[in-house]
Chain A
Amino acid sequence: MRLVGIACVLGGWLLAVAGLFLSSSNTVRLVIACVGIAISLSGSLGVLNGYYLERAIWKK
Chain B
Amino acid sequence: MNGRRTKLFVLLATIGIAAGLSAVCPVGVRQASAAVGLTDEDLKVSGPKTDDIAAKGDPGAEQTGTINDVAVADSKKGLTLADLANQAGQNKVAINFVWTLVAGFLVMFMQAGFALVETGLIRAKNANHTMMMNFMVYGLGLFAYWVCGFAIQMGGSAPIANLGGAYPLNHEQVVNLFGKPWGLFGTKGFFLSGATYDVGVMVLFLFQMVFMDTATTIVTGSCAERWKYSAFCASTIFLGALTYPLFGNWAWGGGWLSQLGANFGLGHGYCDFAGSGVVHAVGGLTGLAVAMQIGPRIGKYNRDGKPNVIPGHDLVFVLTGCFILAFGWFGFNPGSTLGASGNGCLRIGSIAVNTMLAGCTGSFAALLYMWIRYGKPDASMAGNGLLAGLVAITAPSGFVNSLSAAIIGWVAGILVCLGVEFFDRVARVDDPVGAISVHGLNGLWGVLSVGLFADGRSNYGGSWNGVNGNVTGLFYGDAGQLVAQLIGIATLVGVIFTLSYVFNWLVDIVVGQRVSAKVELAGLDIPEMGALCYPDFQLKASDYSTSSLSSVGVAAKQ
Measured CB to CB, the residues of A under 8 A from B are 2, 6, 9-10, 12-14, 16-17, 20-21, 24, 26-27, 29-30, 33-34, 36-37, 40-41, 44-45, 48-49, 52-53, 56-60
A-B contact pairs, 17 of them (CB 8 A): A13-B491, A16-B486, A16-B490, A16-B491, A16-B494, A20-B266, A26-B482, A30-B482, A37-B486, A37-B493, A37-B494, A40-B493, A45-B427, A48-B501, A49-B428, A56-B301, A58-B550
Measured CB to CB, the residues of B under 8 A from A are 178, 260, 264-266, 288-289, 292-293, 295-296, 298, 300-303, 305, 427-429, 479-480, 482-483, 486-487, 489-491, 493-495, 497-498, 501-502, 505, 517, 550-553
Q: Are A10 and B498 in contact (CB under 8 A)?
A: yes
The smallest C-beta distance from A12 to any residue of chain B, in angstroms, reads 5
Beyond A13-B490, A20-B266: 13 further Cβ-contacts under 8 Å? A6-B502, A9-B493, A13-B493, A16-B491, A21-B178, A26-B479, A30-B483, A33-B483, A33-B489, A40-B490, A45-B427, A57-B517, A60-B551
Give every chain A residue within 8 A of B517 (Cβ-Cβ).
Answer: 57
A interface: dominant SS? helix
The smallest C-beta distance from A37 to any residue of chain B, in angstroms, reads 5
Q: Are A60 and B550 in contact (CB under 8 A)?
A: yes
Q: Shortest 10 CB-CB distances between A and B: which pairs?
A: A13-B494, A16-B490, A33-B486, A58-B301, A40-B494, A40-B493, A26-B479, A58-B550, A29-B483, A36-B490
The smallest C-beta distance from B474 to any residue of chain A, in angstroms, reads 9
Q: Are B502 and A58 in contact (CB under 8 A)?
A: no
A43, B495: Cα distance in complex, Å: 12
Q: Which residue of B lies closest to A14 (CB)?
A: B494
Contacts A6-B501, A48-B501, A52-B295 known; A58 to B303 CB distance under 8 Å?
Answer: yes
The smallest C-beta distance from A56 to any residue of chain B, in angstroms, reads 6
Contacts A27-B479, A57-B550, A58-B300 known; A44 to B497 CB distance under 8 Å?
Answer: yes
Q: Which residue of B lies closest to A24 (CB)?
A: B265
Give every chain A residue within 8 A of B480 (Cβ-Cβ).
Answer: 26
Contacts A16-B487, A20-B487, A49-B427 known; A56 to B295 CB distance under 8 Å?
Answer: yes
Q: Are B428 and A56 in contact (CB under 8 A)?
A: yes
Contacts A52-B295, A53-B428 known; A58 to B302 CB distance under 8 Å?
Answer: yes
